[in-house]
Amino acid sequence: MQAKADGGAAPVICIDGPGGSGKGVLAAALAERLGWRYLDSGVLYRAVAVLALDARLGLDDEAALARLAEGMDAATEGGRLKLNGDDRTEDIRKEPVAESASTVARHPAVRKALLQQQRNARRAPGLVADGRDMGTVVFPDAELKIFLDASAEQRAKRRRKQLRSDGMRVSFGAVLASIRERDGRDSRRAASPLRPAESAVVIDSTAMTIAEVLERALALARRRRLGAGGAAHDINQP
Ligand code: C5P
C-alpha cells in the first residue's frame, strides 16, 4: 500500500451492489474523472472460476480453489485480462462463468486468498473499487462508500443488452432468472454477503441514466473533498 504525503493510505471510493446495477460503468467513469485507479474485483472471482473450469475442479473444493486463487497471476490493462499469461477477456464475461464465480465466491478461503491482491490496488492518487464487499470487508476505512442498486427487471434488461452487444443472444426470462439466482447466492452466503456498509450512501439507479448516477457520485466525492483539488491534494485542508 502506497502512502500519501501525509502518511495515510491513498483514498478509496467503494462502489458495491448487485450484478447489473451499473456499478462497473459508474466506477470506471468515476476513476477516469478523478484520475484515480480502478479495481473491478469481480474479475478476480471470475478469473478463479475460469481456471477452475479449465482444470475441471469441483466448485465445492474450497482448498483447491483457494490454492488456485493464491497462485494466479491476474493482470488487467486497457480493459483486457491477462490470466497466467493468456488473454481471457472474452471468457470471463460469459454467463456460465458469472454463475460459477458466485459459487466460487462463497468460500471464505477463496475470499481470503484474494484479499491482499485487492488491497494492493490501493495506491496514490486514489482508488475506485467495485464489487460486493469493498465497503464492508476489503476497504472498511474508505472515504466514500456507495451502494448502487436497481430493480431486478431493470438489471436484467441492462445485462441482456450488454450480452447482445457482445454477440450473445439470450432471452429476457433467462437473464432475469440468472440475476435472481445470483442475487440470492450473493446475499445469503455466510462469508462477506452482499449488503450495504453501515455508512454507505444507497443510490437506486432504476430510473436514472448513467450520467445522472455519475453526477450524483461526483457530488458525493466533492462533498468529501476527494479527487483533484480535494483531500488527496488540497494543502489548505483543515
Ligand atoms: O461483479 P461481477 O458480476 O463481475 O462478479 C461476479 C461474481 O463474483 C459475483 O456474483 C459475486 O458472487 C462475486 N464477487 C464477490 N465479491 C466481490 C466481487 C464479486 O463475491 N467483491
pLDDT score at 7 = 47
pLDDT of residue 75: 92
Ligand 1 pocket mutation, candidates 23, 45, 136, criterion most atoms within 8 A of CB: 45
Ligand 1: centre distance to CA 235 (Å): 37
Q: Best mutation site among 102, 107, 178, 180 for ligand 1, i.e. most ligand atoms within 8 A of its Cβ?
A: 102
Check residue 136 and report its DSSP letter: I
| Phi–psi pair at 158, nearest 5 degrees | -65, -45
Query: Is residue 62 exposed (0-12), middle (13-18) or buried (19+ Cβ within 10 Å)?
Result: middle
Q: How many CB atoms lie within 10 A of CB 124?
A: 16
Q: Return the residue matching grid coordinates 464489487.
A: 131
Which pLDDT score is estimated for 166? Answer: 82
Give CATH for domain 12-232: 3.40.50.300
Q: Which atom of ligand 1 is nearest to the CA of 182?
A: 10
Give CA separation, 9 vs 37, 112, 165, 167, 187, in Å: 14, 21, 39, 42, 30
- Between strands 127-131 and 12-16, the pairing is parallel
Record the cell numbers describing residue 148, joined without a space: 448502487
Cβ atoms of 225 and 234 within 8 Å: the answer is yes
Cross-strand partners of 129? 14, 39
Residue at grid coordinates 446475499:
187
Distance 38 CA to ligand 1 centre (A): 15
Q: Where are the domains of the chain?
A: 12-232
Separation in Å, CA 162 to CA 1, 105, 147, 155, 175 = 34, 23, 21, 11, 11
Q: Residue 228's pLDDT is what?
A: 63
Residue 9: the pLDDT is: 86
For residue 189, the CA-to-ligand 1 centroid distance in Å is 12
69 lines ligand 1 (CB under 6 A): no
**pTM for the complete prediction?**
0.89
What is the chain's pLDDT, residue by residue, as a tens digit (238 residues)? 444 444 468 999 999 999 889 999 999 999 999 999 999 999 999 999 999 999 999 999 999 999 999 999 999 888 899 999 999 999 998 888 988 999 999 999 999 999 999 999 999 999 999 999 999 999 999 999 999 999 999 999 998 998 888 888 889 999 999 999 989 988 999 999 999 999 999 999 999 999 999 999 999 999 999 986 444 333 333 2
